[in-house]
Amino acid sequence: MSHAYHKDSEAISRLSEEQYRVTQKAGTEPAFNNAYWDNEEPGIYVDIVSGEPLFASINKYDSGTGWPTFTKPIESENVVEVRDSSLGMTGIEVRSTHGDSHLGHVFDDGPVEAGGLRYCMNSAALRFIRRDDLEREGYGEYRKMFEPQMGEGGGD
């Protein structure tokens, strides 16, 4: 990928209070009371600060936790996993590589058939790009993720 993603001070200045608390202060938004926990539209989720692509709707599932949850990142080099013991238990914090935004946590109790991981993210750290807007928003290379594969029937 040829994009140069980075922590953008202008983007940080535009964050809501909640987005700032989550991304810059490692906060957690309320479960079941956030923008994307039940979003079922096709598209990708990018870091609200840097714009780096993080997760895709094709890897999103309902974990019952009330936060947007994914089985894996779409670009593993755009996420960093850091040991975290701030919640009174040892967990793995997930941060964006280039934006250094706190995104959420990863757990090892996800769907076994999809690798066994549960990336539990904060909507406040993400911006959703609808499938139909990918090209216009500069993420056209991800459009192919939503196209039927050769030999598959159907489509949407």
- pTM for this structure? 0.90
Contacts with 57 (C-beta within 8 Å, 6 or more apart), sequence order: 39, 40, 41, 42, 43, 44, 45, 131
- Domain tally, the chain: 1
Please tell me the predicted confidence (pLDDT) of residue 156.
46
Q: Contact at 8 Å (CB) between 92 and 84? A: yes
pLDDT in tens, the chain (156 residues): 447 788 888 999 999 999 999 999 999 999 999 999 999 999 999 999 999 999 999 999 999 999 999 999 999 999 999 987 665 666 799 999 999 999 999 999 999 999 999 999 999 999 999 999 999 999 999 999 998 765 555 544
Asked whether residue 86 is assigned to any structural domain, the reply reads yes
Please tell me the predicted confidence (pLDDT) of residue 1.
44
Residues marked as catalytic: 120
Asked whether residue 32 is assigned to any structural domain, the reply reads yes
Which residue type, as a one-letter code, is found at position 149? Q
Q: 124: closest CA among 41, 13, 6, 45?
A: 45
Please tell me the predicted confidence (pLDDT) of residue 91.
79
Task: Look up the domain containing 111 and give its range.
Answer: 9-138
Distance CA 103, CA 125 (A): 6
CATH number at residue 80: 2.170.150.20
Asked whether residue 109 is assigned to any structural domain, the reply reads yes
In which order are the strands placed within the sheet that holds 43-47? 53-56, 43-47, 126-130
